[in-house]
């Protein structure tokens, strides 16, 4: 059995993690596990209310997210995950996977200008984001301003390889180069 790859697509909100993850799935056929997608399924089944409710479902979704990723890795399947991955526990979680499953890490860390991220976040919240996230509210914008848009996000210090991609201008992103990096043709 070959070593499963864990493709980690990280970075701040609105850097394009989901868009890139979908493209990688299309190119590789690997499984994608997304906390946001799991959370949206929970919204559809359980319901959604307010921002606090969204946070609570997010807290419930993360262990499910981790469990599904581990389920695939135990089977030797490669997995694509997309999330900001900013907590120390995220690093410990990945290191545990490496020890337990001999995972090969491939990290693509997305960055962009903070003003561009803020504008994308507002556009996304007002157009196509699942309403359960409750991130179109004015008080949420202040929360995100403090929590996300005034901070630098760094790639996780993992074994394996890391590529940093600036997505400030989506049209300038070389997706072919990213695929070569992920598939080992770089």
Structural domains of the chain, ranges and CATH numbers in brackets: 5-183 (3.40.50.300)
Both tokens of residue 167? 């997505």
Low-confidence ranges of the chain (pLDDT < 50): none
| Strand bridging mode 31-34 / 79-82 | parallel
Where in the chain does DSSP place strands (E)?
5-11, 31-34, 79-82, 104-111, 161-166
Per-residue model confidence (pLDDT) at position 71? 95
Per-residue model confidence (pLDDT) at position 89? 85
Per-residue model confidence (pLDDT) at position 143? 63
As a whole number of angstroms, the longest Cα–Cα distance in the chain is 50
Both tokens of residue 17? 């993690």
Cα-Cα-Cα-Cα dihedral sign, residues 135, 37, 20, 164? positive
């Amino acid at each position: 059995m070959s070593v499963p790859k864990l493709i980690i697509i990280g970075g701040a909100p609105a850097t394009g993690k989901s868009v890139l993850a979908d493209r990688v799935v299309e190119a590789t056929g690997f499984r994608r596990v997304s906390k946001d997608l799991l959370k949206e399924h929970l919204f559809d089944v359980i319901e959604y209310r307010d921002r606090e409710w969204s946070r609570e479902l997010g807290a419930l979704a993360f262990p499910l997210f981790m469990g599904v990723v581990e389920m695939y890795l135990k089977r030797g399947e490669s997995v694509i995950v997309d999330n900001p991955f900013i907590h120390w526990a995220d690093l410990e979680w990945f290191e545990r996977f490496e020890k337990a499953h001999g995972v090969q890490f491939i990290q693509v860390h997305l960055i962009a200008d903070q003003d561009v991220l803020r504008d994308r976040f507002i556009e996304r919240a007002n157009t196509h984001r699942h309403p359960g996230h409750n991130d179109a509210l004015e008080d949420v914008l202040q929360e995100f301003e403090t929590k996300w848009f005034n901070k630098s996000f760094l790639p996780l210090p993992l074994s394996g390889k890391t590529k940093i991609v600036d997505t400030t201008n989506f049209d300038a992103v070389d997706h072919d180069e990213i695929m070569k990096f992920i598939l080992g043709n770089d």
